[in-house]
Structure 1
Amino acid sequence: MVGTRKFVVGGNWKMNGNKKQIGEILDFLKKGPLNKDTEVIVGVPALYLEHVQSNAPEGVMVAAQNCYKAEKGAFTGEISPQMLKDVCVDWVILGHSERRQIFNECDELIADKVAFALENGLKVIACIGETLEEREANKTMEVVNRQTAAIACKVKDWTNVVIAYEPVWAIGTGKTATPAQAQEVHKALREYIAQSISPDVAASIRIQYGGSVTAANCKELGSQPDIDGFLVGGASLKPEFVEIVNARQ
């Protein structure tokens, strides 16, 4: 079944970039060349979504880094799925560890946001992952299964969902799960989805790995049977992102 899941690489720019730097990023994306068999998505600060959407090379999709669970209203500082669709943005990243850890977003809120985004025509990269303390306490699968189950309570159609497994201890730290460690979690997560949601969803859903992915380790990570792509942080701001996109070549 692995051969039928299209490799998908996301670049999460986080709170980085200005028009000059974004121009440089778009230049190296245009220069590429990017593997045509890989889906490429860039997660852009809200202020620059429309600019990047208008200037991104063909085949590079644009994602918001967050959106709320309502169409409109008194939610200062938030943006809605409908606003994203209005500027032709079709993807959103939800549940990133920084939203969970820094902004205290709980499993239920993230699940509500995922469901609302999907209902309103967005495609979602839904992030899950454990902290270092949770891993050291052997709670990795307990945590990622719990986070996945919360979303499963609200979502019935998984067609437009990509799951990003991001061990929090490996994000921006330079530490990376070994390919074997990453594959172990991806495989166990897929088995959990088969049991708790459906075998068809488990076989078709794409699970990205995120956590200090670089040009140096992407090929070995990308060769694992249950790793269907990456969600890349800091390296997505650099020309090496092209090499990461091309990990399966």
Structure 2
Amino acid sequence: MRKPFIAGNWKMNLTLDMAQELTDKIAAENIDFNRVGVALIPSYTNLYPVYKILKSTGTEIRLGSQNVHFEKNGAYTGEVSVEMLKSVGCTFALLGHSERRNILGETDELINKKLHSCIDQGLDAIVCVGETLNEREAHIHKEQTVSQVGKALKGIEKKFLNNIIIAYEPVWAIGTGKTAGKEDAEEIHSAVRDFIKSKYGEEAASEIKIIYGGSVKPENIKELINMENIDGALVGGASLKFESFSKIIQNCTI
């Protein structure tokens, strides 16, 4: 049985005071971590302050970064390394979010290099994949998403799949208020799991977490995670408000 996993991606939002206030409230929640995993993904400037709150409260909430560079160090102005992230309490990095693919031009090859860097240096990863509206309307959404998974995992050994979560986020549903229907989301999650099975075997496919992102709200999280192959959510806007994010977490344990 795969335990649901809920990660709040704060994107380029929240000042220091706002991030600390929100973290204080979330960390004080009585979360049943035996039934749900929870993570926060703040901006770089808020990583260490959020980590200090999480550490001081003894919560099992994990901390992640919104990105990472593939080199260990060097003359890469504006970038952050795996070791830097680990030093401020991060246990994973978010890779290949559609906003970085489509706005900042990140390629499948670059995402693969970042994933290898994370795995080699002991940092877990959430790898984001998903189709555009044009690709869905052309009925190649399943093939496109599975292709992204394959390219991201190129050269990754089976033993490291436990350090990776796949996040399916249809680009047309991110921040738009539109959500893929539970059957539509399940179709893609099932296809991704079938790909993992074909590449790594049935055991690996049954264990890897595949979560959904794209306008996730308290009202739709339950029906999503009740689907056989949906193991949680990468939450955007709803994670910026304590009430909605807390309710999403609660609805995963009811």
Q: Is 1:64 the counterpart of 2:62 in the alignment? A: no
CA contact (8 A) 1:222 1:228 kept: yes
RMSD: 1.1
Q: For the residues of structure 2 that align with 1:183 and 1:98, how far apart are their CA atoms? A: 22
Q: Which residue of 2 aligns with 1:29?
A: 26
What letter matches 1:23 in structure 2? Answer: Q
Q: What whole-Å deviation, never above 9, does each CA across 1:100-125 have from its counterpart, x for those lacking one? A: 00110000100110111111011101
CA distance in 1 between partners of 2:15 and 2:99 (Å): 21
Q: Distance in 2 between matches of 1:229 and 1:91?
A: 16
Q: Which runs of 5+ in 2 are unaligned?
A: none
Letter of the 1:246 counterpart: Q
Contact conserved, 1:152 with 1:197, CA < 8 A, in 2? no
The residue aligned with 1:48 is: 46
Q: 2:237 aligns with which of 222, 234, 239?
A: 234
Post-superposition shift, 1:146? 1.1
Normalised TM-score (structure 1):
0.95
* Segment drifting more, 114-123 vs 26-35: 26-35
The DSSP-based 3-state class of the residue aligned with 1:159 is helix
Aligned: 1:179 with 2:182? yes
Answer 1 or 2: which has greater helix percent: 2
8 Å CA contact 1:124, 1:161 repeated in 2: yes
Tell me by how many angstroms 1:144 deviates.
1.0
Cα distance between partner residues in 2 of 1:168 and 1:197: 27
Tell me the alpha carbon deviations over residues 35-72 of structure 1, each in whole angstroms, 9 at most, x when there is no partner. 32211111110111111000124111110100010110
The CA deviation at 1:247 is 2.5
Q: Deviations over 1:7-53 (max 9, x none)?
A: 11100000000122113311331342323221111111011111100
1:10 aligns with 2:26: no
4+ residue runs of structure 1 moved beyond 3 angstroms?
A: none
User: Structure 1 residue 200: deviation in Å?
Assistant: 1.8
State the TM-score, normalized to the length of structure 2: 0.94
